[in-house]
Structure 1
Amino acid sequence: MASSSGQPLGEPSTDFNALTTLECSYTFPTFNASVAFDLGIALRNRILSLPSTQRKPAVISISTSNGNHILFQSVTESGTTPDNEEWVRRKRNTVLRFGSSTWAFRQKFLASSTPGQNVEALFAQGRGLKSSVPGGVPDDYAIHGGGFPIRVANVDQVVGVVVVSGLKQEHDHQVIVEVIKQFLGKN
């Protein structure tokens, strides 16, 4: 098991335009099962190295854009629950449908919400998404941080999705950003 006294995660941007620009700049030269495995291991190792103030058991899932072909899935350590799987599913659906990270989409809806307004319910209403509870969160989508699109050079659409579930939502997002940045050798 990795040390729990590693470098803490930075704070993610809350600017929708900056977030989407960053996402589009993180383009993989290729993406296949080997790349997904290496990326998944890098994410797992990074989460395990987080300081105890940020580290929690998490699920890491990497899939192709059809959403049901999992290339990598692992828990970081004991303590995840079936609820983490539900978050993975809903975050993946959001990235696949809207082509943006769940954190960026959250920031977009936060910018148009009023204080105290349920941003998930606003998202459901604004996009006509089914909710089992009137005025509630969408059944099949989530705009909590931790879902991130995989793009490949010279391919117009998202080809895969990385999801982390279990940390604080801003950390679910930021660990993906930091690991992909390092993985792609971005400065």
Structure 2
Amino acid sequence: MTLRVLLLSPATGPALRAARFDDDSPLDERGIAQARAVAGAVPRASRHLTAPSRRCRETAAGLGLSAEPAPGLVGLDVGRWRGLGLDELAAAEPEAVAAWLADPAAAPHGGESVVALVGRVGAWLDGLGSGNDGESDDGDGRVLAVAEPAVIRAAVVHALALPPQAFWRLDVRPLTLTALSGRAGRWNLRCGEALGPAS
């Protein structure tokens, strides 16, 4: 069966507005309102998944989805940089930040490299519908997953067999859909579909 995987980025939260790495902080009232405003525009799917992060879970709830947690959708682990602002890091550790942005295999923060993230998310994506994701696909092949922007970028890099350096060239706006259709090893992409005026 051909799968259609709809990856939905979460609503804007305080970390994104402050240009800092998320520390699993909750959505604020503005983010919750954004999710609720577009709830009626969410496409149908036979399965609803969510990343374990708080903002993804709260976005799913704001959209009215009863989404099951998917450990394969865990966001990029930025290690000791968690909760810190990009400007703050660029001033304190300019060489480390430059290395991280230039080399997708680098992880100067002690967390996960972009290469590792792409591999992990790619394995999750390719396992959908095959029972390797812990669930059989007994519906219509449509999966909607609320996932962090880094996870969505990693899925696109994997699905299109892009070089890992392309990861930093992809922009995922809040509350937008990125659709992948096909099956393991052969995916097609439709990206950046806005759900409504809030995004």
Q: Specify if TM > 0.5.
A: no
What TM-score do the two structures reach when normalised by structure 1?
0.29
